């Protein structure tokens, strides 16, 4: 069958007609675009047309042979159901129109398919075997939103045609794997492709990989376009551009890309050396992308560093082993020795998890509450509060009483740094009762000046299992980094 334009237009009832050629449409300049329309791979189409010396130099009207499952002719995307014998012409026409529309939509969405894996079609009444139907992505469904014209709007756009064949295939495969193809998705994809032209080939592929990893989310595409078009991005060095795009790919959601874009506007980031820029990008990306954390605290914390009016800043230094970060004035200092440089995802281990998902919010809470060491319950509460906020930011829930004792209060009692301050607060007749009430709330024990240390030393969650597994009391003060 000869295919003209985007649909088969002749010979529907005549199975004896030639079914093995198509004509290049207006706007199609490369074999990859024709292959996408037909639902075959660009490689198979090239193999069936060895006379085409330049795969990207097609002009409208050129006739091409269509590869079939056995490498000869016939378009897999043109298989239609047989018309029932005795059926009315109008009914048959409508049935075929619907079927062809569905096949074209699937073929347009599927960038390529393995024809050899398709089930054999039943023999036709004339004794021949119709071509095999395309293998569609398992999650794909033909809905009224998925129409061939939407894919043609994409593939015939100058933005798409400016891509290399490999890049075109990457876009089509991403869209094929993430139906439905809505008009909003097409619009945002075309806009993003237009912005990609300003990037190097390697950076374009990183951006396309991110688009695919984000499941072709139009909001992600819009955020990526905004980032790439941002003058703060275009002014970066080539290496720094790659670092930025890499983390937008590694943590692929629209909100995270927006936060990375905001990061580019901060003086403290632009003044960092490239290694520290990579650390900051990884940390902001992973912190923002955390799907399990408390979203309110995450957003509030990021605003403290990324809002235009904010004067908080982040810096990287080698700190003592075991120290994740420090807070002083309006500066958060993180341990550079715990975060490797590079454009890959942040390595995930207990240290990087704690630093990127917990410590950032913990130390910002100290900055916001102006916590300084003192022989008071206010200081003890400040340390408990910052830990409580960091825990919620990482895990998305309040800690249990057992977690509060084992992960924070024991340190406040026993640690060589915190212990003296806590002991001094316990000895004060005004501050002590406040501390004892906190310890009583998490342990369920009667606590006073004579036993407060022993209660924590000897804590056993099995003594009061219901209380131990219950949420710990919220500390006093700013508990969400607003």
Residue pair 112/35 in contact by the 8 Å Cβ criterion:
yes
Token pair, residue 91, equals 């009914």
Q: What are the tens digits of pLDDT across the range 441-455? A: 999 999 999 999 999
At 388-410, the pLDDT tens digits run: 999 999 999 999 999 999 999 99
Q: Could you tell me if 146 and 105 are in contact, meaning their C-beta atoms sit under 8 angstroms apart?
A: yes
- 449: nearest Cα among 418, 415, 411, 422: 422
Question: What is the side-by-side order of every strand in the sheet holding 21-23?
Answer: 7-8, 2-4, 21-23, 63-65
Are the beta carbons of 324 and 294 closer than 8 angstroms? no
CA separation for the pair 125, 118 (Å, rounded): 21
Phi, psi of 7 (to 5 degrees): -145, 155
Give the C-alpha separation, 368 to 479, whole Å.
10
Asked if the structure places residue 265 within a domain, the reply is no
- What letters, b where the CB count within 10 A reaches 16 and e where it falls short, cover 184-196? ebbbbbbbbbbbb
Predicted confidence at residue 86, as pLDDT, reads 41
Examine residue 20 and state whether it is found in any structural domain, yes or no. yes
State how many domains the chain has.
2
Per-residue pLDDT at 150: 79
Contact 447, 439 (CB under 8 A): yes
Tell me which residue has tokens 């990207």. 56
Residues in the chain: 482
Residue 382 is assigned to a structural domain of this protein? yes
Choosing from 78, 109, 140, the residue where a domain stops is 140
Residue 21, C-beta contacts closer than 8 angstroms, at least 6 positions apart: 2, 3, 63, 64, 65, 66, 73
389: helix, coil or strand? helix
Q: Is residue 70 part of a domain?
A: yes
The answer to whether 88 and 96 have CB atoms below 8 angstroms apart is no
Contact predicate 3/136, CB 8 Å? no
pLDDT of 148:
60
CA distance 415 to 430: 23
**Which tokens in the block code for residue 14?**
């005549």
Round to whole Å and give the CA distance between 107 and 1: 16
Name the helix (H) or strand (E) containing 22: strand 21-23
**Strand residue runs (E) in 207-347:** 313-317, 325-328, 331-335
β-pairing, 2-4 vs 21-23, is parallel
Contact (CB, 8 A) for 247 and 289: no
Report if residue 25 sits inside a domain: yes
Residue span of the structural domain in which 69 resides: 1-140
Residue 160 lies in a domain: no
SS3 assignment, position 97: helix
Domain edge (last residue) among 98, 119, 140: 140
Candidates 249, 310, 307; CA nearest to 281 is: 249
Q: Is residue 102 part of a domain?
A: yes
Residue-wise pLDDT for 274-305, tens only, equals: 999 999 999 999 999 999 999 999 999 999 99
Distances (CA, A) of 29 to 26, 44, 77, 158, 307: 8, 17, 20, 11, 45
> Residue 410, class by beta-carbon neighbours within 10 Å (0-12 exposed, 13-18 middle, 19+ buried)?
middle
Cβ atoms 314, 272 nearer than 8 A: no
| Whether the model pTM is above 0.85 | no
- Residue finishing a domain among 109, 140, 171: 140
Question: What average pLDDT values come out for the chain (482 residues) when binned by 10 residues?
Answer: 37 39 81 82 84 80 76 36 40 37 41 36 38 37 50 91 94 92 94 96 96 97 98 97 98 97 97 97 97 96 94 95 92 96 96 96 94 94 96 96 96 92 96 96 95 94 94 92 94
Residue 420 lies in a domain: yes
């Amino acid at each position: 069958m000869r295919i003209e334009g985007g649909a088969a237009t002749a010979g529907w009832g005549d199975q004896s007609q030639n079914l093995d050629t198509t004509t290049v449409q207006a706007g199609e300049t490369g074999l990859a675009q024709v292959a996408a329309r037909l639902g075959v791979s660009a490689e198979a189409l090239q193999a069936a047309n060895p006379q085409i010396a330049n795969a990207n130099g097609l002009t409208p009207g050129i006739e091409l042979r269509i590869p079939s499952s056995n490498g000869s002719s016939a378009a897999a995307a043109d298989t239609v159901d047989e018309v029932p014998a005795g059926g009315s012409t109008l009914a048959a026409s409508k049935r075929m129109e619907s079927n062809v529309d569905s096949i074209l939509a699937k073929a347009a969405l599927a960038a390529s398919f393995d024809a050899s894996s398709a089930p054999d079609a039943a023999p036709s009444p004339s004794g021949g075997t119709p071509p095999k139907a395309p293998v569609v992505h398992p999650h794909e469904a033909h809905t009224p939103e998925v129409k061939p014209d939407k894919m043609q709007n994409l593939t015939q756009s100058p933005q798409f045609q400016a891509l290399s064949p490999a890049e075109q295939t990457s876009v089509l495969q991403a869209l094929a794997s993430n139906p439905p193809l809505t008009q909003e998705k097409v619009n945002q994809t075309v806009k993003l492709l237009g912005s990609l032209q300003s990037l190097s080939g390697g950076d374009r592929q990183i951006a396309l990989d991110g688009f695919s990893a984000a499941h072709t989310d139009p909001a992600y595409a819009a955020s990526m376009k905004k980032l790439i078009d941002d003058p703060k991005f275009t002014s970066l060095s080539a290496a720094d551009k790659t670092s930025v795009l890499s983390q937008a790919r590694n943590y692929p959601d629209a909100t995270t890309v927006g936060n990375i874009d905001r990061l580019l506007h901060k003086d403290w980031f632009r003044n960092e050396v490239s290694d520290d820029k990579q650390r900051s990008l990884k940390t902001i990306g992973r912190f923002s992308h955390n799907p399990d954390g408390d979203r309110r605290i995450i957003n509030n914390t990021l605003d403290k560093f990324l809002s235009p009016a904010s004067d908080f800043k982040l810096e990287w230094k080698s700190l003592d082993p075991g120290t994740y970060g420090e807070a002083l004035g309006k500066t958060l200092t993180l341990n550079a020795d715990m975060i490797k440089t590079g454009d890959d995802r942040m390595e995930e281990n207990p240290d990087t998890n704690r630093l990127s998902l917990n410590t950032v919010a913990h130390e910002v809470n100290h900055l916001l509450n102006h916590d300084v060491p003192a022989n008071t319950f206010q200081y003890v509460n400040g340390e408990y509060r910052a830990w409580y906020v960091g825990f919620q930011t990482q895990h998305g829930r309040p800690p249990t009483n057992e977690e509060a004792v084992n992960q924070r209060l024991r340190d406040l009692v026993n640690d060589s740094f915190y212990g003296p301050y806590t002991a001094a607060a316990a000895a004060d007749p005004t501050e002590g009762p406040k501390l004892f009430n906190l310890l009583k709330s998490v342990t369920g024990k009667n606590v006073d000046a004579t036993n407060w240390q022993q209660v924590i030393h000897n804590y056993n969650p099995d003594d009061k299992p219901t209380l131990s597994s219950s949420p710990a009391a919220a500390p006093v003060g700013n508990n969400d980094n607003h």
